[in-house]
């Protein structure tokens, strides 16, 4: 039976990561094996929610055009982030369709990151 409440993409579920888990991973990793892709618009990236340190801004509307530039990160873990988690979920699905296997959606996006009291940059 089809479940309308389950968010499942073409290649199965998108992995979710909480802000606390992502922060821990980034702190331990120091950016060596983990990349943050922020798929919001530039005005959101520098807006009141700020952005995660060292995040790469690639608005979701440009992701299909920039996907080949991300091939250098295929062997890394990618955490996609947006305002609330919806656009980044779509970004994860797109990345998975292009052969990226270690992708995570930041659960709750920057809203939950900020609410969790984690550091941001503007």
pLDDT (tens digit, 9 = 90+) per residue, 68-79? 999 999 999 999
Domain ranges across the chain = 11-115
Helices (H), the chain: 19-29, 42-45, 63-66, 86-97, 109-115
pLDDT at residue 120 tops 60: yes
Cβ pair 51, 38 in contact under 8 A: yes
pLDDT at 13 (0 to 100): 79
| Residues assigned a catalytic role | 82
For 13-54, the pLDDT digits (tens) are 799 999 999 999 999 987 789 999 999 999 999 999 999 999
Give the burial class of 93: count Cβ atoms within 10 A of its Cβ; 0-12 exposed, 13-18 middle, 19 or more buried: buried
Q: In this structure, which topology does domain 11-115 adopt according to CATH?
A: Oxidized Rhodanese; domain 1 (3.40.250)
Q: How high is the pLDDT of residue 12? A: 52
Q: What are the pLDDT digits (tens) for 60-69?
A: 999 999 999 9
Confidence class for position 4, pLDDT limits 50, 70, 90 = very low
Q: Determine the pLDDT at residue 115.
A: 95
């Amino acid at each position: 039976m089809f479940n309308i409440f389950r968010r499942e993409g073409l290649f199965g579920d998108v992995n979710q990561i909480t802000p606390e888990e992502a922060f821990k991973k980034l702190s331990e990793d120091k950016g060596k094996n983990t990349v943050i892709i922020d798929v919001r618009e530039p005005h959101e990236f520098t807006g009141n929610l700020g952005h995660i340190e060292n995040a790469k801004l690639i608005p979701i509307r440009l992701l299909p055009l920039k996907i080949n530039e991300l091939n250098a990160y295929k062997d890394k873990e990618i955490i996609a982030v947006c305002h609330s988690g919806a656009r980044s979920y779509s970004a994860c699905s797109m990345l998975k369709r292009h052969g990226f296997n270690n992708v995570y959606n930041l659960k709750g996006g920057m809203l939950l990151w900020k609410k969790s009291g984690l550091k941001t940059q503007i």
